[in-house]
């Protein structure tokens, strides 16, 4: 069991669909992250929220839209994705930006 | 941000043997973190070593840090089949985000 919960665990969607990935933590962490990980590659940072404000956007295409409704929740809204966006999407949280990060088990996303 | 580079990329050992993985990085750091990832799962934090520390232990794990050489090593002693995973180092600069290196894929054969 992890302290960061991601839903759904698996998602298959077409290129015209709109879906959302969800992430929740109740550790009181104030920094939350989205990563994208392709097979046999390291996680790549997408977005960072610090105190519920977007602090880093690593040049991610606009078809990925993050949202932080409150300090415990982080969403990633998906629209008009491409087949190359198929990957494992990982959420993480930390007490602060330089502290150790706690990861969820990810959402395995497949784009048809 | 900065990226660590792990060496070797892959390592295969027998159960009971020790496994050593190395990490090199380019610029000054606030701390360096090691993570493990089992297949299809999220990353698990193993150890954080600060720039003013030289060695740190946690159970069967021993991490060293040499800031003059900009390198770190992770030693797993008395390895077990359950240690089979990918291991990533993540150099961290204060106020900066983690950037993971390519990782070392460790296989421990029973």
Diameter over CA atoms, chain B: 42
Range B18-47 average pLDDT: 94
Q: Which of B41, B88, B93 sits opposite A42 (nearest CB)?
A: B88
Instruction: Give the tens place of pLDDT for each residue, A27-55.
Output: 999 999 999 999 999 999 999 999 999 98
Range A64-81 average pLDDT: 96
Adjacency order of strands within the sheet including B31-37: B10-14, B104-109, B85-92, B31-37, B43-50
At A2, the pLDDT band (50, 70, 90 cuts) reads: low
At B1, the pLDDT band (50, 70, 90 cuts) reads: low
CB contact under 8 A, A105 and B41: yes
Whether the CB-CB separation of B35 and B47 falls below 8 Å is answered with: no
- Residues A22, B10: Cα–Cα separation, whole Å: 33
pLDDT of residue A97: 74
pLDDT for A98 beyond 80: no
Residues of A in contact with B43 (CB under 8 A): 43, 90, 92, 101, 103
Q: Which of B30, B44, B99 sits opposite A45 (nearest CB)?
A: B99
pLDDT for B97 beyond 80: no
């Amino acid at each position: 069991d992890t302290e960061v919960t991601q839903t759904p665990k698996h998602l298959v969607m077409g290129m015209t669909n709109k879906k959302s990935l969800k992430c929740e933590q109740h550790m009181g962490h104030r920094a939350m992250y989205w990563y994208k990980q392709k097979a046999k590659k390291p996680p790549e940072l997408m977005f960072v929220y610090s105190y519920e404000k977007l602090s880093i956007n690593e040049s991610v295409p606009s078809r990925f839209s993050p949202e932080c409704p409150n300090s415990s929740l982080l969403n990633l809204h998906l629209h008009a994705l491409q087949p190359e966006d198929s990957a494992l999407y990982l959420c993480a949280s930390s007490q602060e930006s330089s502290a150790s990060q706690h990861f969820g088990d990810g959402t395995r996303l497949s784009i048809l | 941000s900065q990226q660590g580079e792990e060496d070797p990329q892959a390592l295969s050992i027998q159960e009971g043997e020790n496994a050593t993985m190395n990490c090199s990085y380019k610029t000054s750091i606030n701390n360096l973190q090691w993570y493990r990832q089992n297949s299809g799962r999220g990353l698990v934090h193993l150890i954080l070593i600060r720039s003013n520390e030289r060695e740190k232990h946690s159970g069967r794990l021993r991490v060293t840090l040499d800031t003059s050489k900009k390198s770190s090593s992770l030693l797993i002693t008395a390895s077990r089949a359950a240690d089979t995973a990918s291991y990533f180092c993540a150099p961290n600069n204060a106020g900066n985000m983690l950037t993971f290196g390519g990782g070392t894929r460790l296989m421990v054969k029973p």
